[in-house]
Amino acid sequence: MDEIRARALIARLPGLTAEQLRPLIAAAGGEPAAILTRRALDAPDLPPAARAFLASPDETALDADLAWVRVSGARILLCTDPEYPPLLAESSGAPASLYVLGSLPALASPQLAMVGSRSPTEAGRATARDFAAYFARCGLTVTSGLALGIDAASHEGALAAGGLTVAVFGTGLDRVYPAEHAPLAARIREHGALVSEFPPRSAPLAEHFPRRNRIISGLSLGTLIVEAARKSGSLITARLAVEQGREVFAIPGSIHSPVSRGCHQLIREGAKLVEEAADVLTELRISLPKETLTAQRSLPLGDGELDKEYEMLLDALGFEPATIDVLVARTRLGVESVASMLLILELKGRVAALPGGRYGRIP
């Protein structure tokens, strides 16, 4: 058996962890291609499903895997390879192998995980983009899960700043999930890496995503939760980060917002409260650039300071979403004036239209 086929075989062994593979490789003389030795098959810690696959490999699946590897240019990393991510290697239950498309050095770079709601507020989406861009400019690789919402905004922010970003899949790398993120995944491959422990043709099954989350947190120095409901999968990532001995950060939000309650719960449980991106870098003891995140942000159509009526309207809006009727009552301006001013503020990136006819301020 040649080495690449041996790697594909090892990557298909169900339930195998890095802790279990290392002694198997050692028992096989350090060569993956010798993994089918009787000594490896008789290893006491080998999971039963992995033992059964080793004893009778699915050659059809292996042939298909190898064909995809050749066409895609993917690498199969084993936990015994020097390129295997060092922080992940330290994590309990780390995967025995990883499929990688893109930059292997990106996996060894200092990383920060950013995760959150799939249905964030516009303010949360903007915060994720801005924070990710800031971290990227500071030299951190932004790692997330390519999901809708905060994950995608985090990847996009890092890319917009010219930084590196890593996306961890809950499927095989031959399948982008969700499908509409295929262009984003292609950009990430060019400026970072796509990673999965799942073989090609693996579907987006529900049980795959908690496993994916442990890789996201395991790759990273810390995990930042931007917005999350109380039952969000992002809280699973945060708890896994704690178990792995990594820092957990959370951005607080409105007490009335359901996508802030998970963050508030994490803060009550000991997560570090984050008000600006520099808070994360300070906690991680990473050198800060001279400029601040707020100083770097500019309005898309900004022409200087807003006039007094616009400032009054923003003050009336505060940081809780409100309808036009509420803003009319607070400002005593006419309905048409408030509607027109909100449109201008929306074009300037200062407010966002929300469901239910409400408007929210973008920090």
For residue 330, report the phi and psi dihedrals to the nearest 5 degrees.
-75, -35
Give the mean pLDDT of 112-127.
93
pLDDT, averaged across the chain: 89
Q: What is the pLDDT of residues 26-49, one digit of tens each?
A: 877 777 877 766 566 666 677 888
Give the mean pLDDT of 129-146.
95
Q: What is the pLDDT of residues 251-297, one digit of tens each?
A: 998 888 899 999 999 999 999 999 989 899 999 987 544 443 333 33
Dihedral class, residue 201 (left if φ above 0, else alpha if ψ from -120 to 50, else beta): left
The third-level CATH classification (topology) of the domain covering 308-361 is Arc Repressor Mutant, subunit A (1.10.10)
> Was domain 105-296 assigned CATH 3.40.50.450?
yes
Task: State how far Cα 337 lies from the chain centre.
Answer: 41
For residue 165, report the phi and psi dihedrals to the nearest 5 degrees.
-145, 145
Does residue 96 contact residue 126 with C-beta atoms inside 8 Å?
Answer: no
Q: Which residue has the higher pLDDT, 318 or 100?
A: 100
* Strand-pair partners of 58: none
Domain ranges of the chain: 3-72, 105-296, 308-361
Model pTM greater than 0.95? Answer: no
Strand blocks (E) in the chain: 75-78, 97-102, 111-115, 141-144, 165-168, 192-196, 222-225, 247-250, 272-273, 322-323, 351-354, 358-361
